[in-house]
């Protein structure tokens, strides 16, 4: 085979003898070296299921359809609303949380504390003990954000009175939601629920909400894919680096802010808060990612992952061909850089809906856009390109709406295929913050984690059961 015949640089997945990989790398090819292992650890049932799905025409056609729908999605930021007014189920006494479904009794401490804080914020109880009893008695319903069109970072709490971002996917008209980023310090999403935390939430639901609501009257809706694309050219990967996206959003909103009916005091307070909140745009990017992936949902036979989410106890994925079903495994601990004074012993397990960014081809999948992130999550500048290149082996394609300058403007790898993950043993990589295992302490570091292989093997078996033999 002549390399000159290829339109693109060869991408090689080398299994076993490393010398092959080295010779390809020396010739300029991109190589991901993995240790050879039988697919799914040699599990016969999984191997048979995988064999049934590989090259299956129904699966191939379904994946083309799902991936095309993901690529065609147009997430538009419409503005802000109060959760109960835009998510009908929140007219009940319901609190949404991150990750796959989990009962109160099994929840991790930061998520429990955040739920108690939300009960206090809603005024459903007078003190923390009362709030806890209310939830224990079952007088507050709990459900995953993902079951109600929403996503939230870390604990991911959305309660009825909270303001939320509204993203509308232009092709379908479907809306997705996310809570607003609280900034740094003691925050609900890391399980803090002290009076200062609740005070900030109240300020966000009043002053910040008023300023943003008035601004969007003038701003109209904002096309989020070009904004994300530009942020990728400015060193964001839109999961753990959001400083460029936040600055671009601010720049876009500013004239509308000044033309709006919002008071100068509200605007000054709002821009001061946004200016100090480098992750302000993360929640918006997450809602945009959910909108893009929801477009790919429910295509019969498709092996494309439509969600990855963690509740601090379990990691769960959803797959297009299997609808709303979750495939879960224990949430991993995170390999990362810890803030001074903290170590992995202090860390909660992987937590939050923010892995929706990786599911949509951003975050660690777009890490080549963000070499500066290694200061935060560890590794070297070479690693970021290797990570993005490796993820290209487990995806259905690349999203050319999101290009990577350092890889000569290749699109980000996107559309995780559960078959390819199980076949290669290459687990999706996720950039993530690390929460303290105890509530109220907050973020103690950031790092890299990998989606558990068991989620993908279960999905392969379930999907194979649904796909009839040829």
Which residues here bind a copy of itself, judged by CB under 8 A?
26, 230, 233-236, 243-244, 247-248, 250-252, 254-255, 258-259, 264, 267-268, 271-272, 275, 370-372, 374-375, 380-382, 405-409
Q: Are 331 and 312 in contact (CB under 8 A)?
A: yes
Tell me the closest approach of the beta carbon of residue 11 to a copy of itself, in angstroms: 16
Q: Can you tell me whether residue 96 is helix, strand or coil? A: strand
Between 113 and 407, whose beta carbon lies closer to a copy of itself? 407
The Cβ of residue 89 has, within 10 Å, a number of other Cβ atoms equal to 16
The Cβ of residue 105 has, within 10 Å, a number of other Cβ atoms equal to 7
Burial (CB count <10 Å: 0-12, 13-18, 19+), residue 55: exposed
Tell me the closest approach of the beta carbon of residue 310 to a copy of itself, in angstroms: 28
Tell me the closest approach of the beta carbon of residue 261 to a copy of itself, in angstroms: 11
Between 156 and 336, whose beta carbon lies closer to a copy of itself? 336
Between 171 and 259, whose beta carbon lies closer to a copy of itself? 259
Between 359 and 431, whose beta carbon lies closer to a copy of itself? 431
Between 194 and 250, whose beta carbon lies closer to a copy of itself? 250
Tell me the closest approach of the beta carbon of residue 377 to a copy of itself, in angstroms: 12
Between 250 and 300, whose beta carbon lies closer to a copy of itself? 250
Tell me the closest approach of the beta carbon of residue 12 to a copy of itself, in angstroms: 18
Between 247 and 429, whose beta carbon lies closer to a copy of itself? 247
Between 6 and 268, whose beta carbon lies closer to a copy of itself? 268
Tell me the closest approach of the beta carbon of residue 232 to a copy of itself, in angstroms: 9
Tell me the closest approach of the beta carbon of residue 418 to a copy of itself, in angstroms: 31
Between 247 and 319, whose beta carbon lies closer to a copy of itself? 247
Tell me the closest approach of the beta carbon of residue 446 to a copy of itself, in angstroms: 16
Q: How far apart, in whole angstroms, are the C-alpha atoms of residue 219 and residue 221?
A: 6
Tell me the closest approach of the beta carbon of residue 378 to a copy of itself, in angstroms: 13
Tell me the closest approach of the beta carbon of residue 246 to a copy of itself, in angstroms: 8
Tell me the closest approach of the beta carbon of residue 235 to a copy of itself, in angstroms: 4
Sheet holding 222-223, edge to edge: 150-151, 175-179, 163-169, 75-82, 222-223
Between 236 and 423, whose beta carbon lies closer to a copy of itself? 236
Tell me the closest approach of the beta carbon of residue 242 to a copy of itself, in angstroms: 11
> Helix axis angle, 224-232 relative to 243-259, nearest 10°?
140
Between 94 and 368, whose beta carbon lies closer to a copy of itself? 368
Q: Looking up tokens 């479907």, which residue turns up? A: 174
Between 339 and 409, whose beta carbon lies closer to a copy of itself? 409
For the chain, the three-class secondary structure string (H helix, E strand, C coil) is CCHHHCCCCCEEEEECCHHHHHHHHHCCCEEEEECCCCHHHHCHHHHHHHHHHCCCHHHHHHHHHHHHHHHHCCEEEEEEEEHHHHCHHHHCCEEEECCCCCCHHHCCHHHHHHHHHHHHHHCCCCCHHHHHHHHHCCCCEEEEHHHHCEECCCCCCECCCCEEEEEEECCCCCEEEEECCCCCCCCHHHCCCCHHHHHHHHHHHHHHHHHHHHHHHHHCCEEHHHHHHHHHCCCCCCCCCCHHHHHHHHHHHHHHHHHCCCCHHHHHHHHHHHHCCCCCCHHHHHHHHHHHHHCCCCCCCCCEEEEEEEECCEEEEEEHHHCCCCEEEECCCCEEEECCCCCHHHECCCEEHHHHHHHCCCHHHHHHHCHHHHHHHCCCHHHHHHHHHHHCCCEEEEEEEEEEHHHCCEEEEEEEEHHHHHHHCCCCEEEEEEEECCCCCCEEEEEEEECCHHHHHHHHHHHHHHCCCC
């Amino acid at each position: 085979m002549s390399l000159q015949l290829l339109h693109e640089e060869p991408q090689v997945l080398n299994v076993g003898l490393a010398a092959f990989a080295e010779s390809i790398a020396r010739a300029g090819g991109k190589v991901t070296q993995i240790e050879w292992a039988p697919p799914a650890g040699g599990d016969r049932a999984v191997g048979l299921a995988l064999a049934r799905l590989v090259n299956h025409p129904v699966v191939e056609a379904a994946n083309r359809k799902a991936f095309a729908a993901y690529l065609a999605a147009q997430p538009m930021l419409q503005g802000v609303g109060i959760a109960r007014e835009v998510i009908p189920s929140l007219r009940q006494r319901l609190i949404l949380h991150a990750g796959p479904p989990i009962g109160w009794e099994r929840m991790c401490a930061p998520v429990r504390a955040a739920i108690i804080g939300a009960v206090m914020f809603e005024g459903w109880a007078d003190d923390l003990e009362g709030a806890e009893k209310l939830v224990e008695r079952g007088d507050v319903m709990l459900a995953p954000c993902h079951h109600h069109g929403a996503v939230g970072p870390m604990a991911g709490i959305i309660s009825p009175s909270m303001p939320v971002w509204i993203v509308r996917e232009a092709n379908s008209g479907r809306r997705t939601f996310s809570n607003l980023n609280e900034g740094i310090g003691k925050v609900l999403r890391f399980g803090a629920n002290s009076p200062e935390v609740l005070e900030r939430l109240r300020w966000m639901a009043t002053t910040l909400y008023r300023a943003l609501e008035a601004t969007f009257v003038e701003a109209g809706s904002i096309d989020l894919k070009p904004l994300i694309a530009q942020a990728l050219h400015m060193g964001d990967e839109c999961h753990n680096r959001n400083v460029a996206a936040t600055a671009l959003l601010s720049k876009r909103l500013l004239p509308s802010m000044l033309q709006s009916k919002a008071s100068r005091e509200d605007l000054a307070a709002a821009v001061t808060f946004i200016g100090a909140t480098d992750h302000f745009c993360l929640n918006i990017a997450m809602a945009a990612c959910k909108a893009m992936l929801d477009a790919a949902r429910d295509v019969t036979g498709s092996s494309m992952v439509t969600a990855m989410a963690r509740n601090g106890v379990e990691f769960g994925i959803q797959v297009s061909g299997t609808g709303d079903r979750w495939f879960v495994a224990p949430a991993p601990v995170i390999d990362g850089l810890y803030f001074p004074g903290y170590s992995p012993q202090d860390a909660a397990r992987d937590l939050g809906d923010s892995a929706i960014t990786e599911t949509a081809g951003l975050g660690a999948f777009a890490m080549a856009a963000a070499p500066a992130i290694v200061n935060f999550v560890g590794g070297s500048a070479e690693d970021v390109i290797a990570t993005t290149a490796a993820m290209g082996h487990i995806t259905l394609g690349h999203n050319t709406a999101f290009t990577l300058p350092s890889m000569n403007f290749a699109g980000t790898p996107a559309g995780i295929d559960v078959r390819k993950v199980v076949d290669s043993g290459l687990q999706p990589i996720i950039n993530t913050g690390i929460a303290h295992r105890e509530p109220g302490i907050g973020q103690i570091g950031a790092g890299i984690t990998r989606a558990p292989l068991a989620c993908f093997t279960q999905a392969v078996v379930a999907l194979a059961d649904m796909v009839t033999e040829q």
